[in-house]
Each structure stands twice: as C-alpha cells, then as structure tokens.
Amino acid sequence: MFNHPASRASRISSLLGLGFAVCGCVGCGSDMAPVAGRVEFSDGSPVRGGIRVIRFEPDDDSPAEVRKAGSGDIAEDGSFVITTKKPGDGVYRGKYVVTFTVISDRESAKSLIPSQYTTYVDSPFEVTVDRGKSDYLFKLEKPK
C-alpha cells in the first residue's frame, strides 16, 4: 500500500513543500533591526539640498552574517528611515559606518557637506545596530 507510485509521489511532494517552507523562513527578518532618526547640522539647523541620502555601510569587522548596506532619503525636516530590502525594514544587526550624500542636484553633483561625511574611509560615524536602539541623531559640521 505504501509502495504505490502515487503514494510515494505524494510523500515526496509533501516533503519538498515542507523543505521549501522551512528554507523560506530562514532569515525571516529576525536578524534585522529598524533604523530611523534625524540628520542636522551641529547648530540644530536642517541639512538642506536637492538630494539628501544617508547610507549604513557594513563595517569591515561587523559580526553581521548578511553584509548588505541600507539607505534612506533624508526628509526636509532631517528625518530618515533606512531600507535594505523593503521600505522601512532597517538593516541587519551589526556594525556600520554611516555616510551621507547631500548635493545640490544631479547635474552639478556639488556636495553641500564636508567631504569627511561622504566616504566610508573618512566618516566619523560608526554605529552598532541591534534590536534595542532604533532612533539615531547625526550632527554634521557645516561646510566652511
């Protein structure tokens, strides 16, 4: 009775379905943490510009199993929400270097912030993202 080809195919199909369900749940976001906050100049004024983006780039010695950057637009009021895969999902827990792009427009690409904030190598901002903290404040010096 159990050796009937239809019965065997049914069992194999069930096992494959279960396998795909389990594989689909591996990393179901349990290693991600939401990230949001504000970016402003050290005097409290908003960072203004035509295009404003913040990026969380995995640090070289980050313990995160998935090393993927997240980014978000910086709103007029300085607020941001980071996205990696889906809007607002945050980043994988681990260590990150935070960089910024604030330019007048795409054609000129003139940076409106000091260059130290724009590159992974020079950025003074390093954060460890975990489930406990999700609200960050970054204060940038104004360009001279």
Q: Is the pTM of this model over 0.75?
A: yes
Confidence of residue 22 (pLDDT cuts 50, 70, 90): very low
Question: Mean pLDDT over residues 65-92, rounded?
Answer: 94
Give strand ranges (E) for 8-134.
32-33, 36-41, 51-58, 70-73, 79-81, 91-92, 94-103, 126-129
Of the pLDDT bands very low, low, confident and very high (cuts 50, 70, 90), residue 13 is low
